[in-house]
């Protein structure tokens, strides 16, 4: 975790970064149920799950989202802030013992109505140990423009 300034102009389309892996454990399921209050049997009742199509407990969607976004939290960019996420999709279930890693690609850059800022879209893909995509989403950042710094953002 460290601080590194990156302006709108510094983001390059197509550039990717890839996190290390992390095994999703039964502990993560139990802690996430405890944090969210979601004790649905899909996540917490191994006996009931045996009667369901997936035959075993599946991770909360919010767990996989939280852990994967957490995996990408390595660089603090004081010139940008997170606006939110689009098109979050849970593509495949994650089971206890699966290992996930996250890949981020600079997918889009665009004008934004906020003066002095530009919009950057990071496309996020979460992979399991079989290299299958289990989750995707688009992270929307607003990043300061360099000319914004120079006080001439209104030319």
**Least gap, CB of 88 to a second copy (angstroms):** 4
5 binding a second copy? (CB under 8 A): no
- Name the segment binding a second copy (CB under 8 A); options: 4-12, 64-72, 111-119, 146-154: 64-72
Contact 121, 107 (CB under 8 A): yes
- Report the C-alpha gap between 64 and 141 in whole angstroms: 20
- Kindly give the pairing relationship between strand 133-144 and strand 99-111: unpaired
- Name the segment binding a second copy (CB under 8 A); options: 4-12, 54-62, 112-120, 143-151: 54-62
- Name the segment binding a second copy (CB under 8 A); options: 7-15, 36-44, 107-115, 116-124: 36-44
108 binding a second copy? (CB under 8 A): no
Task: Calculate the alpha carbon distances from 106 to 8, 23, 77, 80, 103 in Å.
Answer: 11, 26, 15, 14, 10
């Amino acid at each position: 975790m460290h601080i590194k300034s990156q302006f709108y102009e510094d983001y390059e389309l197509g550039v990717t970064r890839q996190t290390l892996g992390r095994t999703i454990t039964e502990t993560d399921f139990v802690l996430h149920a405890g944090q969210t209050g979601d004790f649905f049997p899909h996540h917490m009742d191994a006996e009931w799950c045996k009667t369901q199509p997936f035959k075993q407990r599946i991770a909360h969607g919010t767990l996989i989202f939280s852990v994967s976004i957490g995996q990408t939290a390595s660089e603090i960019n004081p010139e940008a802030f997170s606006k939110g996420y689009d098109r979050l999709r849970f593509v495949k279930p994650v089971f206890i013992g699966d290992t996930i890693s996250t890949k981020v690609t600079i997918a889009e850059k665009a004008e934004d109505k906020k003066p002095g800022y530009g919009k950057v879209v990071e496309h996020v893909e979460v992979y399991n140990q079989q290299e299958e995509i289990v989750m995707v989403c688009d992270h929307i950042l607003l990043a300061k423009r360099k000319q914004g710094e120079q006080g001439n953002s209104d030319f």
